[in-house]
Amino acid sequence: MRAHFQLHRSVSYIFMGSKCHLMQELFQNKNRPFYRFGKHFPLGKIPKEEFSAFIQGCFEKTGFRADPEAINEILCITEDHPYYTQLLPHILWARKRDERAITRGDVSQGVEEIFLREAHAFHDLWDLLPLKTRQLLVALAQEESSQVQLYSNDFLQSHNLGSASSVQRAVKRLQQEEILEKVDGEYQYTDVFFKRWIEEEFS
């Protein structure tokens, strides 16, 4: 592909993907054919204001009235994750199609329905993970801030995680499984509802 692409003129190619580490491996690994092929434009999350207006507009087009507090709650829960930010309003739309009104109190019911839908997959994934990776996931879910120093003594000791080297191995495994990703120097869950499921199961 590269042999052909580099001969083309007046043509632009865009490679897009939501898995940051896969995109980095593709374009930043010296052993890959697309190494340093083109420019990199990391895309951040969709701004809350834009996502909020989009959700509100979708509800209004179908005759629904959605309280701004409800939409804000949706975005807080989904952390602007595109898939869940569209799934949760869709569930609420289906649940409230007779009343055609969404309030903040309705959002928690939609969240519970997502948990019911995803619980089996979450349990299967959890059962496949080694003990150390489970302990690390629980520790990260319990932290209020995403700016966690994973290898600091304070973090390791407060969560009884053992040595920094064992946590490094756990992080590597979780990145390979696409459960964690590193964004701007911070490790984050790729699935915000898996994180919330862990919070509820092991809090």
Write down the domain spans for the chain: 1-43, 48-124, 129-202
Please determine, for residue 145, whether its predicted confidence score (pLDDT) is greater than 80: no
pLDDT, residue 98, reads: 93
Q: Given this model, what pLDDT does residue 54 score? A: 94
Which stretches of 2-73 are assigned E, i.e. beta strand? 65-66
- Mean pLDDT (whole number) for 146-174: 88
pLDDT in tens, 46-90: 889 999 999 999 999 999 999 999 999 999 999 888 888 999 999
* pLDDT at residue 29 is higher than 90: no
From 118-132, 162-176, 184-198, the region with the lowest mean pLDDT: 184-198
Fold of 48-124: Helicase, Ruva Protein; domain 3 (1.10.8)
How confident is the model at residue 146, as a pLDDT? 64
Residues 107-138 have pLDDT tens digits of 999 999 998 988 999 999 999 999 999 999 99
pLDDT of residue 93: 95
Structure tokens given for 23: 């995109």
State the pTM of this model: 0.73
Asked: is 129-202 a CATH 1.10.10.10 domain? The reply is yes
Averaged pLDDT of the chain = 88
Decide: 74 and 84 in contact? Cβ < 8 Å. no
